[in-house]
């Protein structure tokens, strides 16, 4: 005798599985990068001890030690005492209430935009202004008053670049 598979049984099984996974997916979606700041270093601990201390704080708000280690993105060990980690808002709130923690704030990544000095917009010139400037430069070249001539072709000029 063959037993028929009940479609309602399969549907209820899949539905139950989705209900169990929903909280896990929701917490993963709300996780953000937070910076946890402890203030200045006291100078008493070695670098590996500082990182272990950071792991212990994460372990106090995470489910497992592996989860705590995986959530740590960076330990600030030189300039100040703190770390960057992937946390939920609830976990960040729990950390901020700890006595040793000075502050906890969400990291807002910057969107870097490439700039070039060859871009007329970068130096504040529009395309129409540039055409006018080029026609003026042609007249100056004809009169031997172009920029290179006036600048003595850069003789005795030092060009420096400071990048932030």
Provide CATH 3.30.70.80 ranges for the chain.
30-106
Cβ-contact 62, 72 below 8 angstroms: no
Higher pLDDT, 41 or 146: 41
> How would residue 68 be classed by pLDDT, with cut points 50, 70 and 90?
very high
pLDDT of residue 57: 95
Of the listed ranges 16-20, 99-103, 117-121, 133-137, the least confidently predicted one is 117-121
pLDDT of residue 144: 55
CATH of 30-106, one of 2.60.120.10, 1.10.390.10, 3.30.70.80, 3.40.800.10: 3.30.70.80
C-alpha–C-alpha distance, residues 85 and 104, integer Å: 11
Cβ-contact 97, 33 below 8 angstroms: no
> How would residue 36 be classed by pLDDT, with cut points 50, 70 and 90?
very high
DSSP-derived secondary structure for the chain: -PPPPPHHHHHHHHHHHHHHHHHHHHHHHH-EEEEEEEES--S-S-HHHHHHHHHHHHHHHSSSHHHHHHHEEEEE-SSSEEEEEEE-HHHHHHHHTSTT--EEEE----------TT-TTTTT--HHHHHHHHHHHHHHHHTT--HHHHTGGGTT--------
C-alpha–C-alpha distance, residues 42 and 80, integer Å: 10
Q: Is the pTM of this model over 0.75?
A: no
Higher pLDDT, 161 or 103: 103
> How would residue 95 be classed by pLDDT, with cut points 50, 70 and 90?
very high
């Amino acid at each position: 005798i063959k037993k028929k598979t009940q479609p309602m049984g399969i549907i209820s099984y899949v539905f139950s599985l989705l209900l169990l996974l929903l909280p896990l997916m929701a917490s993963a979606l709300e996780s953000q990068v937070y910076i946890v700041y402890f203030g200045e270093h006291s100078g008493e601990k070695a670098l590996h001890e500082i990182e272990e201390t950071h792991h212990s704080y994460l372990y106090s708000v995470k489910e497992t030690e592996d989860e705590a280690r995986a959530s740590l993105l960076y330990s600030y060990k030189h300039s100040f005492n703190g770390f960057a980690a992937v946390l939920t808002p609830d976990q960040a709130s729990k950390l901020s209430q700890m006595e040793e923690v000075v502050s906890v704030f969400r990291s807002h990544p910057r969107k870097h935009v490439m700039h070039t000095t060859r871009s007329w917009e970068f130096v504040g010139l529009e395309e129409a202004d540039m055409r006018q400037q080029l026609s003026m430069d042609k007249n100056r070249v004809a009169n031997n008053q172009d920029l290179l001539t006036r600048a003595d072709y850069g003789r005795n000029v030092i060009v420096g670049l400071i990048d932030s």
